[in-house]
Amino acid sequence: MAALLKVDSLGISFGGLKAVDKFNVEIEKNELYGLIGPNGAGKTTVFNLLTGVYKPTNGQITLDGDNITGLDCEAINKKGIARTFQNIRLFSQLSVLDNVKVGLHNNHAYSTLDGIFRTPKFRKVEKQMDERALELLKVFELEGYCDYKASNLPYGQQRKLEIARALATEPKLLLLDEPAAGMNPNETEELMNTIRLVRDKFDMTILLIEHDMKLVSGICDRLTVLNFGQVLKQGLTQDVLHDPEVIKAYLGD
Amino acid sequence: MDKVNVEKQKIFRSNLITFGMVIAAYIVVEVMMKTGNITSLLKGLLVPLCIYSILAVSLNLVVGISGELSLGHAGFMCIGAFTSATWSMLMKSSSMPEGIRFFFAILIGAVSAAFFGFLIGIPVLRLKGDYLAIVTLAFGEIIKNLVNALYFGVDAKGPHFSLEDSMHLNMDGGTIIIKGAQGITGAPKNSNFTIGVILLLIALFIVLNLINSRTGRAIMAIRDNRIAAESVGLNITKYKLLAFTISAAIAGVGGVLYAHNLSSLQALPKNFGYNQSIMILVFVVMGGIGNIRGSVIAAVVLTLLPELLRGLSDYRMLIYAVVLIFMMLFTSAPAFMQYRERIMTALHGKNKGGKEMD
């Protein structure tokens, strides 16, 4: 089976600094893949390259057979990559429901004029959007909060809402940037279940960055360890985590 | 689904209140006019009240909903005013009925202001915050000064333009319509309170429905977090430009009303200069940024106030300033906003306690 995401010797330099160099990864469909590494290893830079925030200086990204190298954020999302952010980025003044409905924007369309004149099409599509958004919120047990302003949600729920919004764009690949950051052990446990649920329920392929080793060893099928912008180790989770070189990179000599 | 419907009804009711408020005010004023209980001072203010309300609604779309500080709105008003007045002057002697002529004047004013809004928006919307404010301010001034220097006339050979003086038009008979700093004299006085209110209602209808649709959500999402908006596949440029263009078109309609309310129209700093732009911004800020109903109320109160306080001569501006401070507190201070929220929930008889999470 061909890999869903295939990244081939991806690299970017800022001035003379090679932030990421010769990064390779192949992610199979329906896989839960982890990207780990010490601080400053270039993990978020890889995410920014995959989602089009940065244009790679070399290398190639292929998603489901499509070459998506060098496209911008909007186009890459339409091709099927959605993401969450390390520091939560919600539409803070909009309601929880509307946050998800913005995610549904491109797949449920009516024109601006339909919106202004409240045509039957507007009503029909809005109703579909409401139903779909509520379905998604239900998966994350957020449907009771749907009329809250997003910024008024508790931290853990904000993380979940971000995932729900990303899923609303109907991606093929979901990128989670440190989903467990700032969570206590209980919340992390709950999050692990949620991520598993997302994979199974939506048949989703997930690539995540994480520092919490309990979460990584708990749910990831395979891992890539990044150090100083280069791949240090790649393979099955347990093998990688027990590798002496990886332990050295994290703990030092 | 219940909660979603409750939210929808809330928005619907809120919009209904806004429309109801305008219609109620219209009926009251009409009754006062019929019974002769209206001063000539107030009568002269009726159309300006509509104009400023329309402008405040239009600017709120850019400042409040799209989140861009634009200081050039009087420029779009100027374009709407002059293009529509030119049309009316050209068609004045034709056999076209007055109503249809004015209808086209409104369309022409809106479309030409939208066109310039679109053109100016392309470079300007690449900027953010203060830079955007300064550049829009500059564009507003450029428009006003260009119109102030413009000579335009029509003869048998077609239209003639000049930025020098009327001699350079090289006219062969015909009529000169825009006479530079003297502007346009003799445009028909088609504006009246009823048309003003109808146009205000249309502006409100467009803006409120836009906000509560897919397009409005996208515009507000971009305002709240641009990077996240890109990551869910929104076309940033398209929606920013759309909001700016619609806003310019509505401001243009304000200009049409303005041009057809006076017998002489000049591009002076006090009409279309940055003072006017700032004044419109004051309405928006005082009414609450993003609060469409608030901008209408603020525009009405702040236009009426200086006139009604004329009798107090020296104390006039003092009271005006105090009112400004109180309005700002009422619409924007957190303590007042909570207080208002409490009153609203008490009125709706529903306990929504714990909605604000600390």
- Tens-place pLDDT, residues B64-88: 999 999 999 999 999 999 999 999 9
Angstrom CA distances, A172 to A77, A132, A137, A169, B158, stand at: 10, 18, 19, 9, 60
Chain B residues 187-246 within an 8 A CB cutoff of chain A: 205-206, 209-210, 212-218, 220-221, 223-225, 227-236, 242
Neighbouring C-beta atoms of residue A193, cutoff 10 Å: 11
A147 & A214 share domain: no
- Between B54 and B357, the higher pLDDT residue: B54
> What CATH number is associated with residue A44?
3.40.50.300
Give yes or no for residue B353 having a pLDDT over 50. no
Is residue B140 within 8 Å of residue B75, measured between CB atoms?
A: yes
Looking from the CA of A22 toward its CB, the CA atoms found within 13 Å total: 6
Whether residues A13 and A69 fall in one domain: yes
Does A164 share its domain with A175?
no
What is the rounded CA–CA span in Å between residue A12 and residue A175?
19
Beta-sheet pairing, A32-36 with A222-227: parallel
* Separation of first and last alpha carbons in chain B: 26
Last residue of a domain, one of A136, A169, A202: A169
Chain B residues lying within 8 Å of A109, measured CB to CB: 214
Q: Is B115 exposed, middle or buried (0-12, 13-18, 19+ CB in 10 A)?
A: middle
For A113, residues 6+ apart whose C-beta sits below 8 A from its C-beta are A119
User: With pLDDT > 70 as the criterion, what percentage of chain B qualifies?
Assistant: 97
In chain B, where do the E strands start and end?
A: 151-155, 158-162, 175-179, 184-185, 264-265
| ipTM surpasses cut 0.90 | yes
Question: Does A74 share its domain with A199?
Answer: yes
Adjacent-strand bridge partners of A13 = A18
Same domain flag for A148 and A184 = no
Based on the domain organization, do A69 and A6 belong to the same domain?
A: yes
Residuewise pLDDT in 10s, chain A (253 residues)? 578 999 999 999 998 889 999 999 999 999 999 999 988 899 999 999 999 999 999 999 999 999 999 999 999 999 999 999 999 999 999 999 999 999 999 999 999 999 999 999 999 999 999 999 999 999 999 999 999 999 999 988 999 999 999 999 999 999 999 999 888 888 899 899 999 999 999 999 999 999 888 899 999 999 999 999 999 999 999 999 889 888 888 877 6
Chain A residues closer than 8 Å to B212 by CB: 115
Q: Could you report the per-residue pLDDT of B207-249, keeping only the tens digit for each?
A: 999 999 999 999 999 999 999 999 999 999 999 999 999 999 9
How many C-beta atoms surround the C-beta of residue B186 within 10 A? 13
Domains, chain B, with CATH or none: 2-273 (1.10.3470)
User: ∠ at Cα B89 (B87, B91), nearest 5°?
Assistant: 70
Question: At B357, is the pLDDT very low, low, confident or very high (cuts 50, 70, 90)?
Answer: very low
Best CA proximity match to B82, nearest among B45, B108, B104, B103: B108
Q: How far off is chain B from A244, nearest CA to CA, in Å?
A: 37
As beta bridge partners, residue A66 has A63
pLDDT at residue B349 in the model: 57
* Residues B235, A212: Cα–Cα separation, whole Å: 35
Residues 6+ apart with CB under 8 A from B322: none
Is residue B206 within 8 Å of B57, Cβ to Cβ? no
The tokens for A168 are 């609303």
- Render pLDDT for B111-143 as a digit per residue (tens, 0 to 9): 999 999 999 999 999 998 889 999 999 999 999
| Strand locations in chain A (E) | 5-14, 17-27, 32-36, 58-63, 66-67, 81-83, 173-177, 205-209, 222-227, 230-236
B335 in contact with A, Cβ within 8 Å: no
**Are residues A176 and A67 part of one domain?**
yes
B216: nearest Cα among A120, A5, A193, A105? A105
Task: Among A51, A102, A159, pick the best mutation site for testing chain B contact (most B Cβ within 10 A).
Answer: A102
A44 with A99, same domain?
A: no
Euclidean distance between CA atoms B206 and B355, whole angstroms:
31
Which residue bears the tokens 């985590």? A241
Q: Which of the two residues, B89 and B356, has the higher pLDDT score?
A: B89
Closest chain A residue to B210 measured between Cα atoms? A116
Q: Indicate whether A194 and A244 sit together in one domain.
A: yes
Facing residue for B221 by CB, picked from A91, A130, A146: A91
Q: Could you give the number of structural domains in chain A? A: 2
Structural domain range at position A39: 1-80+171-253
For B46-66, the pLDDT digits (tens) are 999 999 999 999 999 999 999
Chain A nearest-CA residue for B206? A116
Interchain CB contacts (distance < 8 Å): A and B: 123
Nearest to A156 by CA among A211, A130, A194, A210: A194
Q: Tens digit of pLDDT for each residue in B185-203?
A: 988 999 999 999 999 999 9
Alpha-carbon span B53 to A88, nearest angstrom: 38
Please indicate if any CB of chain A lies within 8 Å of the CB of B107. no
**Backbone conformation region of residue A65, classed left if phi is above 0, alpha if psi is from -120 to 50, else beta:** left
* Whole-number pLDDT of residue B312: 79
Q: Which of B1, B209, B234 sits opposite A105 (nearest CB)?
A: B234
C-alpha radius of gyration, chain B, whole number: 22
Establish how many alpha carbons lie within 13 A of residue A134's alpha carbon, considering only the half-sphere containing its beta carbon.
13
Residue B169: CA atoms inside 13 Å, Cβ hemisphere, count? 25
Select the residue of A83, A112, A134 nearest B231 (Cβ to Cβ): A83
- The verdict on A198 and A126 lying in the same domain is no
pLDDT reported for residue B352: 43
Task: Give the C-alpha separation, A79 to A172, whole Å.
Answer: 8
Which residue among B1, B209, B217 places its CB closest to the CB of A98? B217
Q: Which of B225, B319, B24 is nearest to A94 (CA)?
A: B225
With cut-offs at 50, 70 and 90, classify the pLDDT of residue B2. confident
Among residues A141, A169, A197, the one where a domain terminates is A169
User: pLDDT, tens digit, for every residue of B284-322?
Assistant: 998 989 999 999 999 999 999 888 887 777 787 788 888
Among B66, B73, B47, B90, smallest CA distance to B252 is for B73
Mean pLDDT of the residues in chain B: 90
Task: Specify whether A148 is located in the same domain as A204.
Answer: no
Q: Is the domain of A158 the same as that of A99?
A: yes
Predicted local distance difference test score (pLDDT) of residue B358: 36
The pLDDT of residue A1 is 55
Contact B289, B69 (CB under 8 A): no
Q: Which of A116, A141, A169 is the last residue of a domain?
A: A169
A94 Cβ partners below 8 Å, 6+ apart? A102, A149, A150, B217, B220, B221, B224
Both structure tokens of A122: 């507007």
> CB-based contact (8 Å) between A103 and chain B?
yes
Strand order in the sheet with A32-36: A81-83, A173-177, A205-209, A32-36, A222-227, A230-236
Contact B225 A89 (CB under 8 A): yes
